[in-house]
Structure 1
Amino acid sequence: MSASFQKARKYALVAGAWLFIVPAISSAHFLELIPQHAVVSEQTSQSINLDIQFTHPMATGPRMDMDMPVRFGVMTRGEQQDLLGSLTIHEEDGKRHYSASHSVARPGDHVFFIEPEPYWEPSEEVMIVHYTKVIVSAYGGSSAWDQLVGMPVEIEPMTQPYGLWSGNLFRGVVLKDGEPVPGAMVEVEWRNDGSVAIPSDEFATQTIKADQQGVFSYAMPREGWWGFAALLTADKPMKNPDGKTVDVEEGGLIWVYVQDME
């Protein structure tokens, strides 16, 4: 065997090894709460469908198994309605996700919200609880898009979270127990429809640090659903499935839809 052949073979083996150790594109955990429409009008269906899954939106998966949520509901004009009984369970590859249908009859802003069962993430050694909401405008009714559900961690929108053009700036304030969180970290992901290839991990999840008033802002460059996740460590730990005491990642999530201007 010639020296040049041995050298080429060595490089080929090293290159082949790198194929196995270079990690795949990864992104953050996001609880998706995606309505069929961000704005309900006389031209759309009165019944609105919502898709619910725990996944990595920008990487288009994989989906994590999701237990039945603790709470699922909608708030309109300060009144909350329990929608837990409307959930339909779907299972694919042993991973559960959900859907629901809700008839939107009243004008006004409808805040759909969900509190999931805690999820154990062994790779990060934390329990994850992401309190998630999305605001749907109906029939041009009174604006109450900044009304708070009252979740332990919540993003209060400072920009109307619907009727947005791509390129618009979204602003929000991170709240914990109703109080702003200075310097809170907010992760941002676009719900990839498969049309965008991710060059590297750095492009999958983008991160914002809120200011001293807990306020953050982000200009959304592309049409579609954008998720904003404010991530904090809970005051109290939990037991993981093995009975070990671990930290809890509490997230306050909001989903926002933007549309291209044509």
Structure 2
Amino acid sequence: MKKMIAVVAVLAAVLFAGQAFAHFGMLIPDTDATSQDKRTVEMVLSFSHPFEGVGMELEKPAEFFVVVDGQNKTDLLPTLKETKVMDHLAWKTSYQVKRPGLYAFVFDPVPYKEDAENNYIRHITKVVVDGYGEGEEWNQPLGLKTEIVPLTRPFGNYAGNVFQGVVMLDGKPAPYTRVEVEFYNKDGKRTAPDERMVTQEVIADGNGVFTFVCPWKGWWGFAGLNADAQPYEGRELELGAVIWVEMK
């Protein structure tokens, strides 16, 4: 009986490990640019494994806001409405872009308790929308706890383009940060030849700069991961600097 229990425990551990996909805060708009014919941006906020299509519950975020041209910050939390993404709680909203400029949308979640990794996860997630072709100064930080400052324009890109960014932590570049990269496999048409190919990884250099080539059209998520200096609820707090970029 003891041997049987041990075997079952090992098998369960192997199966469990196989489900340890990368987590991503997701902030996906229906466009990365507005025009006279498309003035309203529809957005969905979720917490998921984007390639595998496995969802998790996203509690209503602690913050959700937009920063226009790097200066004007507007609280959007009251606009959120409940929805479902991958059969789990998520949030949606609409935002009308009234004037030209650069619109950076950000949500900061309530830390997610991840028992599988014995930690909490806080992915501060942003996406940038070009308002009427006048989005400039897109490489400026927003002053978040952690964020990816793009060195490649985060909109208007071709599939196959390089995306490059700087991982920032507490206002400074975070050298040698591990950056997880994943494709939002929304329609499920993409398959990975093995589990290693689901989540790509790169390491930032000594200046916090990373580079990745996005081979397919669609939305790509980049998550620069660091541990907060202060534990949360007695566990390590994973800080994720997340940005989503569409390749066309």
Q: Could you tell me the TM-score, scaled by structure 1's length?
A: 0.85
Per mean C-alpha deviation after superposition, the further-off stretch among 105-114 and 92-101 is: 92-101
Amino acid at match of 1:253: V
Aligned partner (choices 116, 119, 129) of residue 109 of structure 2: 116
Q: Deviations over 1:141-163 (max 9, x none)?
A: 14121232211111000010111
Structure 1 match to 2:3: none
Per the alignment, do residues 199 and 101 of structure 1 end up closer, same or farther by CA in structure 2, a change over 3 Å counting?
A: same
Amino acid at match of 1:148: P
Structure 2 match to 1:66: 58
**Aligned partner of residue 165 in structure 1, secondary structure:** coil
Amino acid at match of 1:212: G
Query: Which runs of at least 4 in structure 1 moved beyond 3 Å after TM superposition?
Result: 20-26, 91-95
Q: Which has the larger radius of gyration?
A: 1
- 1:26, CA displacement in angstroms? 4.8
Aligned partner (choices 247, 250, 260) of residue 239 of structure 2: 250
Separation in structure 2 between the aligned mates of residue 105 and residue 95 of structure 1, nearest angstrom: 32
Q: List alignment gaps of at least 5 residues for structure 1.
A: 1-17, 240-244
- 1:93, CA displacement in angstroms? 9.1
- 1:25, CA displacement in angstroms? 5.8
Structure 1 match to 2:219: 225
Q: 2:175 touches 2:208 (CA, 8 Å); kept in 1?
A: yes
Aligned residues between the structures: 236
Structure 1 match to 2:210: 216
Per the alignment, do residues 179 and 72 of structure 1 end up closer, same or farther by CA in structure 2, a change over 3 Å counting?
A: same
- 1:95, CA displacement in angstroms? 3.3
- Residue 180 in 1 paired to residue 173 in 2? yes
Separation in structure 1 between the aligned mates of residue 201 and residue 14 of structure 2, nearest angstrom: 26
Q: List alignment gaps of at least 5 residues for structure 2.
A: 1-10
- 1:27, CA displacement in angstroms? 2.2
Separation in structure 2 between the aligned mates of residue 197 and residue 90 of structure 1, nearest angstrom: 26
Per the alignment, do residues 197 and 220 of structure 1 end up closer, same or farther by CA in structure 2, a change over 3 Å counting?
A: same
Structure 1 match to 2:231: 237
**Aligned partner of residue 164 in structure 1, secondary structure:** coil
Q: 2:178 touches 2:201 (CA, 8 Å); kept in 1?
A: yes
- 1:87, CA displacement in angstroms? 0.2
Task: Indicate the RMSD between aligned Cα atoms, in angstroms.
Answer: 2.1
The equivalences for 1:179-198 within 5 A come to 179-193=172-186, 194-198=188-192
Amino acid at match of 2:168: L
**Aligned partner of residue 226 in structure 1, secondary structure:** strand
Q: 2:108 touches 2:124 (CA, 8 Å); kept in 1?
A: yes
- 1:125, CA displacement in angstroms? 0.3
Q: 1:26 touches 1:59 (CA, 8 Å); kept in 2?
A: no
Amino acid at match of 1:201: E
Amino acid at match of 1:225: W
Identical amino acids, percent of aligned pairs: 36
- 1:238, CA displacement in angstroms? 1.0
**Aligned partner of residue 85 in structure 1, secondary structure:** helix
Aligned partner (choices 166, 182, 198) of residue 204 of structure 1: 198
- Residue 37 in 1 paired to residue 26 in 2? no
**Aligned partner of residue 73 in structure 1, secondary structure:** strand
Q: 1:130 touches 1:253 (CA, 8 Å); kept in 2?
A: yes
Separation in structure 2 between the aligned mates of residue 121 and residue 99 of structure 1, nearest angstrom: 24
